[in-house]
Amino acid sequence: MNTSDGERVRAVLDWEGFSETLTEDDADILGILACSVRQKPIDKVYNKIAEWNRAKNHRNLITFISGCVLPADRKKFLKLFDFVFPMSELNQLPEMIRGYGVATPASLKLQGNSPILPNNENIFSLWNIRPKYSSGFEAYVPIQNGCDKMCTFCAVPYTRGREVSRPSAEILDEVEQLVKQGYKAITLLGQNVNSYGLDKPNDEISFAELLEKIGWLGDSSHEEFWVYFTSPHPSDMDPKVFEVIAQHRCLAKQIHLPLQSGDEKLLIRMNRRHDVETYRELVTKLRATLPQATLFTDIIVGFCGETEEQFQNTVEAFKEFRFNMAYIAQYSPRPGAASHRWDDDVPINIKKERHLRLTEVLKRISLKHNLKQVGTTVKVLVTGTEQRTPYLTGYTEGRLVTRILATEGSLIGKIITVKIITANELSLAGEPLLVTTAITA
Ligand code: SF4
């Protein structure tokens, strides 16, 4: 979400005549899009602003902070940053800069095209700002902001507010433009994407209907591209979503469905509003409708009061649901979240140990799955080159990381066919067969 927000900040600053500098030392304006999911990133913010405020002794510098900021942090940041604003007020950033009294490009008369999409009267709303995408083939499209779920470990509802859905016409327009520009991977973004439209029951379509419209767009296009979404919530997951994905080739056969814990009591304590049985029913439906789909999840280990037995229930859930990938976090209390008031009573060494044990289970499951891909041919979106070798890297439609035994930089940004020749716990490797730039409708 911060990447996507950052692309809109970049567009606004670009329009105001600023250009990106290579180092902070050369910048006239420096800003941070904060993440309040954990305390560590917020601690880094305090270090950074102290450094920037020292730099102000020697030069003109404007500082701002936006993104996910808790009310308590906001109060402190107001004394440290020049501007503190929610992303929904990004449109006011140019005025804030102009009013600051420092000569900046923003005070000049500007030429060129506005980044604001022309088809909406409310041209300054955040979502209507045409972003400066940071990639030429992968893009994020926000569809929803905020969350009504109130999980006890999470501060998002207090930083991003209640759920608000973006008008579907705007979403479809942005996706269509991206497809026309040749984008290959488009990710629909939100804190709780599959509750899309529930805040406007009489005026908006449902998430399944939104996906269906995007699916039709893909069906009528000659381009090959994949549409993902993150993150959905199990309690709002309509099985119709799986049926829609099955019917349209552009809707990626990959589902990220956060489980957080495999223990019923912990799920209640987390206020997750779903139980393991509900999750099981969803996975059963998913496997029946989309047998080829990969399944990713999010898990917290060491949540307040988690016993060894409760942790074992999560291990069993991993074995049962056979996740291809899991983002495993060791619990840490976040000020602002309900669980911050509770005893963080699982020792750090136990959290680390459970993290390692669960990772080992995940690796065994994903290795088994990945080895089955050896000998098959798969489509891979080439995203770049490996850090330490000249070989290309990318991912399959199911978002499995794939090493490509080729070095042609011209393949970056393309979907190609790859024959898988080896696999390990974390990735596949194969040889390219043929470049796929277009398909027949
Ligand atoms: Fe946070 Fe829960 Fe909402 Fe996800 S669903 S953003 S974890 S409150």
Q: For 203-244, what is each residue's pLDDT tens digit?
A: 999 999 999 999 999 999 999 999 999 999 999 999 999 999
Query: Which candidate, 233, 234, 182, 186, places its Cα nearest to that of 211?
Result: 186
Q: For 34-82, what is each residue's pLDDT tens digit?
A: 987 777 888 899 999 999 999 988 888 999 999 888 888 888 999 999 9
CA of 140 to the centre of ligand 1 (A): 19
Specify the residue with its C-alpha closest to ligand 1, atom 5.
149
Asked whether 151 lines ligand 1 (CB < 6 A), one says yes
Q: Which range has the worst mean pLDDT, 56-65, 94-103, 317-326, 394-403?
A: 94-103
Global pTM? 0.86
Asked whether 290 lines ligand 1 (CB < 6 A), one says no
Q: Give the position, in ligand 1's atom list, of the atom nearest the Cα of 191.
A: 6
User: Using the 8-state DSSP alphabet, how is residue 201 labeled?
Assistant: T
Block residue for tokens 């440290």? 80
CA of 153 to the centre of ligand 1 (A): 8
Q: For 98-107, what is each residue's pLDDT tens digit?
A: 777 655 555 5
Pairing of strands 401-404, 428-436: parallel
Asked whether 149 lines ligand 1 (CB < 6 A), one says yes
Task: Assess whether pLDDT exceeds 70 at residue 22.
Answer: yes
Q: Give the position, in ligand 1's atom list, of the atom nearest the Cα of 148.
A: 3
Query: Which candidate, 76, 167, 87, 196, places its Cα nearest to that of 131?
Result: 87
Using pLDDT thresholds of 50, 70 and 90, give the confidence band for residue 257: very high
Pairing of strands 294-301, 325-330: parallel
Asked whether 154 lines ligand 1 (CB < 6 A), one says yes
For the chain, what percentages of helix, strand and coil (3-state, to nearest 5) are there? 40, 20, 40
